[in-house]
Amino acid sequence: MKAIDRAPEVWWRLARAALTVYGLTGARLRPLRGLKLRGVFQVDTWERDARTRFVLRIHGPDENRTQLRSVLDWLVALRRDTDLGVPEPVAAPDGAFLVEIPDPLDGNDQPGRSTCELLRWLEGRVPSRTFSHEMLARLGAFTAGLHEHTMHFVPPPGFSRPSGDADAILRGEKRMVPRLRQVSPSPFAAGVISMLDDAEARLRETYRRLPRNRSSFGLMHGDLHPRNLLFHRRAIRAIDFEGCGQDFFLYDLASSLVEGTAGWEILASGPSSGVAASLEADAPAFAARRDALLRGYASVRPLPEGAEQLSTFIAVRALSSLPWLADWAAHGTDDGWTRMVLDARVRFLGAYVREGW
């Protein structure tokens, strides 16, 4: 979801208006993780003392309604065709999965309209510790199940999702380094921006050698990190499909590896370490967890063609995260974590440039 700057009372008013459309006027609302999450609410209803829980998401008036609806179309298909744990969209009384409500906040004489969706609450606990090998194997199998469904998914008419981050960055459609140059004050040491420019150029060169076919490229989640994963009765579930897009399947795996499921040791090697050392000698625990993720994936479907290029997609994920990390480091209240991760990912990308793998 795009960030929208609205006062808390506005979010409440929009949420209550949406519940009226869904016929849930008596429901109780609670913002999820605070209203700064841009209009995501927990919704509780009761009937005969039985509680039913939903998630209400409010999108801004400028978001692409066709693309929002396409996310829900894929979720409906996943619920219908698989036993994977994904959110279930809830239709309004008129059968629509998206509803529109008046939004008078665009500053024009004519009010705009915000788009809302309702999802059934997906039970589960957010993992509170580093993933074990068993948890990673289950995540790998879950990811493979998503990719296997994609290969056979026939999108309904009008289905539209944008390119994912990896595809856009590798093709040069989405540039990270120009955004980094705009961060002020810059959190980077002298020469770092030039090195990152070299890394981005090398990634674009690599693109020509990557296989792009039905078994390696398609609709995927794109952000399978711990905050988007739930565990329930030994099953793994995924939420927040808002960033799903057409991308390389390896990027789903790289995203999980970089963003905390397997530990970020791969990105913390010192500047003198080679890439091979980063993967194996300097971070053996990471290597073992990476292998567990891939082993789980291979238990469901063969690894995507070009799996030897997984490190390339780890580099893409590291690069794609730098703009928001740099912004936080420059302007946010940092407890040390942001600066540490930012520096580690810069060092990793430096090794990527030097070693040429």
Question: What is the set of domains in the chain, with CATH numbers?
Answer: 8-120 (3.30.200.20), 133-355 (3.90.1200.10)
Q: Which two tokens stand for residue 305?
A: 């063609």
Average pLDDT over residues 134-162: 95
Residue with tokens 């969706």: 117
Under 8 Å CB-to-CB from 205, ≥6 apart: which residues?
none
pLDDT higher for 34 or 164? 164
pLDDT higher for 352 or 86? 86
pLDDT higher for 205 or 38? 205
Q: Which two tokens stand for residue 143?
A: 């990811």
- Position 290 scores a pLDDT of 86
pTM for this model (two decimals): 0.88
**294 with 138: CB under 8 angstroms?**
no
Q: Which two tokens stand for residue 151?
A: 């290969």
- Position 34 scores a pLDDT of 53
- C-alpha distance from residue 350 to each of 186, 188, 257, 287, 321 (Å): 18, 13, 19, 20, 15
Average pLDDT over residues 35-42: 73
**320 with 169: CB under 8 angstroms?**
yes
Q: What is the pLDDT of residues 241-269, one digit of tens each?
A: 999 999 999 999 999 988 876 655 445 44
Which of the four pLDDT bands, split at 50, 70 and 90, describes residue 333? low
Give the number of other Cβ atoms within 10 Å of residue 237's Cβ.
17
**254 with 224: CB under 8 angstroms?**
no
Given CA atoms 307, 212, 64, 82 in this order, what sign does their dihedral have?
A: negative
Q: What is the pLDDT of residues 12-23, one digit of tens each?
A: 899 999 999 999
**295 with 140: CB under 8 angstroms?**
yes
- Position 223 scores a pLDDT of 92
* Cα-trace Rg, the chain: 21
Under 8 Å CB-to-CB from 315, ≥6 apart: which residues?
199, 203, 348, 349, 352
**242 with 206: CB under 8 angstroms?**
no
Average pLDDT over residues 329-346: 80
Among the residue ranges 59-73, 98-112, 311-325, the one predicted with the least confidence is 98-112
Average pLDDT over residues 170-176: 93
Is residue 5 pLDDT above 70, yes or no?
Answer: no
Which of the four pLDDT bands, split at 50, 70 and 90, describes residue 332? confident
